[in-house]
Structure 1
Amino acid sequence: MTPPSASSFILIIISLIPLLKFNLVFAKILPTLTTELPEDATLNFTELARKYGHPSETYQVETQDGYLLELYNLPGKGRIPILLMHGFLDSSDTWIIRGEDSLAINLANNGYDVWLGNTRGNRYSCKHTELDSRGRQFWQFSIHELGYYDLPAIIDKVLLETGAEDLTAIGHSQGNAIFYILGSTRPEYNKKVNLLIALAPICFMHHTPSPVSIYLKVSPVLIEISSKLGIYDLLRYDGFANKWFRKFCSHAMFSYTICAKLIIFPIIGFDTPELDAEFFTVLINHMPAGTSWMNFEHFGQIGINKKFARYDYGVSANLREYNSTTPPLYELKKVTMPVALFAGRNDPLSALGDVELLKDHLPNYVDFLVHPRKQFNHGDHVWGAHMKKYLFPYIYETLNRFVNNYP
């Protein structure tokens, strides 16, 4: 296994490419890193949906604070819509890039009405009614805004278009944390979610091991550097650093040996049979999909302070924002929507101790599955090669037991 310090160093260097002023050097190297990509690495969401037999319908959702989000629908006959929400630095692509073996296509093949959301700042949601995405103000958001503004706007749009009274949700990683923020800050939305299936739930980060704990600890320093240099987006999809990262990690010489084994696996947990070299090239051309440095910093604060709390602006700004020197905690007792927790033993981002802690704070958790496969990691929930065998049966059993949503 690669030493955590190595993976930490490599990922930090890559994320800081634009900050380190190496642009001219990398710009010269970039054209030489040519390689032939698998078709699915080059297709966007709507093209992938069409290829796998479920042409999607596209909706634009406007949030209360003016962000324009892209929402997709794979129409089905299920009486209750199912909303899939992606994780950190990710997009709706994560649910479809495994093609026939992906959750979105599998649900659609079985007749479910599938909806897929995108939060602000990713490749499909980088627009605003007034703000320019090249400016600082556009990127002044953390996970709080994703849960408080983006998610309710998406839910309301799905319910408006379908005429349903509530929906079923399946989240991955950050895609679950935003539901806890929503349920605690806008409790009226709890009744609009009949079940949340939380894959690799992120909330508390008390037991996060290295190298992830290192990223959290250095987040304040990275934020300060990026802010001073006027860089507020983190690996935006069409940005130079992300383009270079995709190009570098798509090259046969570097892709699996360096990018998968030295960078990705130490973060999500090693499970090479489920994340093979060919698929990794597809994955790395869809993810990272972009977010803000502020969002990354918020996760860092949650990990460092060991509190699931709102963003910490500093004492004076906190007084203005919260009328308190410290940010308030999210009141998880207000999250009354039913929640089924799915966890893995080999998941350093969503450690079992933290999922147990979350379970103890949720008043209406209805199920807690620790996957029996020992190698099951953070990414296997959405990218695993054999999800149809070892994960989907649990998802369908949970859907049928608690929602009874047969197409």
Structure 2
Amino acid sequence: MMKSAIFLIAAIIQFSYCASESDIEVLLSEISDLTLSEDGKLNFTQLVTKYGHTAEQYEVVTEDGYLLTVFHIPGNRSSILLAHGLVADADPFVIRGHGSLGIALADEGYDVWLLNNRGTKFSRSHTELDPDNEKKFWDFSLHEMGYYDLAATIDFVLYQTGEEKILAIGHSQGPSQFFALTSLRPEYNEKIKLFLALGPGAYFFNMPPLFQVIADAGPLLLELAKTLGIEELCRDRGALLTLIKTVCTKGIVSYEICVKGVIFPILGYNPAGFELSFLRTLFGHAPSGFSRKCLEHYDQLYLRKKFSQFDYGVLENLSKYGLSNPPDYDLSKVTADVALMAGKLDELSLIENVKLLKENLPNVVHFEEIEETTHSDFVLSREASIYLFPSIFSLLQNYD
């Protein structure tokens, strides 16, 4: 099974490079023959409107020239910024309707802002670089998405609202970005009332067997992708994404292959929170694009067992950092109030690793283990309103 997983990933990488336009069109026609749910067909703005709110869209320019789309659901309570995880964008925060975190916060009156990182389908442009023809566009990982994307979005929200501080919630990679930003640019600690980290990705000790096998093979697979010239993964309507959506929207067969075969073993097993019919909505919106370098950075975090900056190799590290190894992110400089929530069923952000993160952060005001919650359940579970939202709303109330 483990060797098969490696061969499957390698095959997907090969297909994403070699598929012709006709191959992609055939797969797209396969998808069009399927019936997505109504919510699977609606875009972000249409979903927010359907569930009783107004959606606004803005463009934010980062210091290094990336053009980010930021969504806004106006409310009359405190402003709160939502930061998504890897392989995602703002969509998962609204695709469960009133059972989604973004909509639920808006239902409670919060002024909701949603980040879309560089490389996602909403933020795939730059003031100078062409994402289709210039590899330099894709030269980023969680580091740049924290240092530039999150910083620019926080500043934009503060400017638009006139507030001195905002609330923020991040899932998975979202906390990684926040800790990178606030450790390197400590002034951003003063701009956050509370940062709530859901299933934070920082430390990766004692990971499940399937994760270990894939991560151990990561350097080889990522080098294969680099050799093939693949810098963008999950491009909207690209070969890889089209293949995923085709395979994963075939009813019960798709549930067995994509959910039970891939999602549950890596992210955690909870069929009660991730039902078969949800595939018709989820794969109308996910996954979203990101860079090969993002995966490489996370693979390094696992292999090095440290929450550190990107490892470019000894010579380039010496040139960039003045050190042979990349420096760790100094978590002692993350002085903002931080709340940590770990899912008891989460196989990617393990509870013991979140506890280790807690020990290394100076100002953790809340730590909680959430029942019946996997890594993806933090944003996708149909039972989030039972196991997650009460804790979140209770915590936010103290800072509102």
Fold-level match, TM-score > 0.5? yes
Q: Please say if 1:381 is aligned against 2:389.
A: no
Aligned-pair distance for 1:260?
Answer: 1.2
Could you tell me which runs of 5 or more consecutive residues in structure 2 were left unpaired when the two chains were aligned. none
Could you tell me how far 1:7 is from its partner in structure 2? 4.8
Query: SS of 2:16's equivalent?
Result: coil
Q: Distance in 2 between matches of 1:24 and 1:152?
A: 38
2:376 partner letter: G
Residues 1:9 and 1:254: Cα distance change in structure 2 (over 3 Å):
farther
Which whole-Å CA distance do the structure 2 matches of 1:7 and 1:268 have between them? 15
CA spacing shift, 1:46–1:15, aligned 2, 3 Å: farther
* 1:197-241 superposed Cα distances (whole Å, 9 cap, x missing partner): 111111111222222222322222122112222110111223221
Answer yes or no: is 1:399 the counterpart of 2:396: yes
Aligned to 2:260: 261
The separation in 2 between residues aligned to 1:110 and 1:11, in whole angstroms, is 42
CA spacing shift, 1:163–1:37, aligned 2, 3 Å: same
What do residues 314-356 of structure 1 show as CA deviations (whole Å, max 9, x unaligned)?
1111111111111111000000111111001211110111101
The letter for the 1-side match of 2:143 is: H
The answer on whether the counterparts of 2:36 and 2:284 sit within 8 Å (CA) in structure 1 is: no
- Name the SS for the 1:36 alignment partner: coil
- CA distance change for structure 1 residues 382 and 4 in 2, over 3 Å: closer, same or farther? farther
Distance 2:53 2:74 in 1: 8
Which residue identity is paired with 1:148?
A: Y
Q: Is the 1:82–1:115 contact (alpha carbons within 8 Å) kept by the matching residues of 2? A: yes
Which deviations, in whole Å up to 9, do the C-alpha atoms of 1:349-371 show, x marking residues without a partner? 10111101100000000111012
Amino acid at match of 1:68: L
Question: In the alignment, is residue 122 of structure 1 matched against residue 120 of structure 2?
Answer: yes
**Aligned-pair distance for 1:18?**
1.8
CA distance, structure 2, for counterparts of residue 91 and residue 210 of structure 1:
28
Are the equivalent residues in 2 in contact too, given 1:4–1:266 (CA < 8 A)?
no
Deviation per CA, 1:174-204: give whole Å up to 9, x if none. 0111110011000000010110111111111
> Counterpart in 2 of 1:133?
131
Give the Å deviation of 1:264.
1.2
- Look up the match of 1:167: 166
Residues 97, 283 of structure 1: 8 Å contact kept? yes
Q: After superposition, give the CA deviation of every residue in 1:147-196 in whole Å (9 maximum; x if it has no partner).
A: 11100000000000000001000111001111100110000000101101
User: Whole-Å Cα distance in 1 between the matches of residues 259 and 22 of structure 2?
Assistant: 24
For structure 1, the 5+ residue unaligned runs are: none
Instruction: Tell whether 2:341 aligns with 1:306.
Output: no
Identity of aligned residues (%): 42
Structure 1 counterpart of 2:68: 69
Q: Corresponding residue for 1:97?
A: 95
- For residues 35 and 81 of structure 1, do their structure 2 counterparts lie closer, same or farther at Cα, with a shift above 3 Å needed? same
Output the amino acid matched with 1:95. F
Rounded to whole Å, the distance in 2 between the matches of 1:47 and 1:29 is 28
Match of 2:336 in 1: 337
> What secondary structure does 1:224 align onto?
helix
Give the alignment of 1:180-219 within 5 angstroms. 180-219=179-218
Distance 2:345 2:285 in 1: 24
Post-superposition offset of 1:75: 0.2
Point out the more displaced range, 241-250 or 387-396: 241-250
Give the distance between the partners of 1:5 and 1:223, measured in 2 at CA: 16
Q: What TM-score comes out, normalization by structure 2 length?
A: 0.95
Taking structure 1 as the reference length, the TM-score comes to: 0.94
Letter in 2 for 1:94: P
- Name the aligned partner's letter for residue 373 of structure 2: F
Tell me, yes or no, if structure 1 residue 111 matches structure 2 residue 128: no
Q: Using the alignment, how far apart are the partners of 2:108 and 2:25 within structure 1? A: 48
Q: Which residues in structure 2 correspond to 1:216-255 (within 5 Å)?
A: 216-252=215-251, 254-255=253-254
- Give, as a single letter, the amino acid of the residue that structure 2 aligns with 1:108: A
- Shift of residue 22, structure 1, vs aligned partner: 4.9
Q: CA deviation at 1:63?
A: 0.4
The 3-state SS of whatever aligns with 1:211 is helix
Q: Partners in 2 of 1:153 and 1:330 — Cα distance?
A: 20
Task: Tell whether the 8 Å contact from 2:24 to 2:242 is kept in structure 1 after alignment.
Answer: no
Query: Does the Cα contact within 8 Å between 2:30 and 2:246 map onto a contact in 1?
Result: no
Deviation (angstroms), 1:60: 0.5
Is the 8 Å Cα contact of residues 69 and 125 (structure 1) preserved in structure 2? yes
Looking at structure 1, the residues matched to 30 and 157 of structure 2 have their Cα atoms a distance apart, in angstroms, of: 45
Note if contact 1:35-1:252 (Cα within 8 Å) is conserved in structure 2. Answer: no
Task: Quote how far apart the aligned CAs of 1:284 are.
Answer: 2.2
Kindly state the Cα deviation for residue 24 of structure 1 after the two structures are TM-superposed: 7.4
Change (3 A) 1:4 1:52: farther
> Size of the alignment, in residue pairs?
397
Contact 1:216 1:297 in 2 (8 A): no
Task: Establish whether residue 390 from structure 1 lines up as the match of residue 387 from structure 2.
Answer: yes
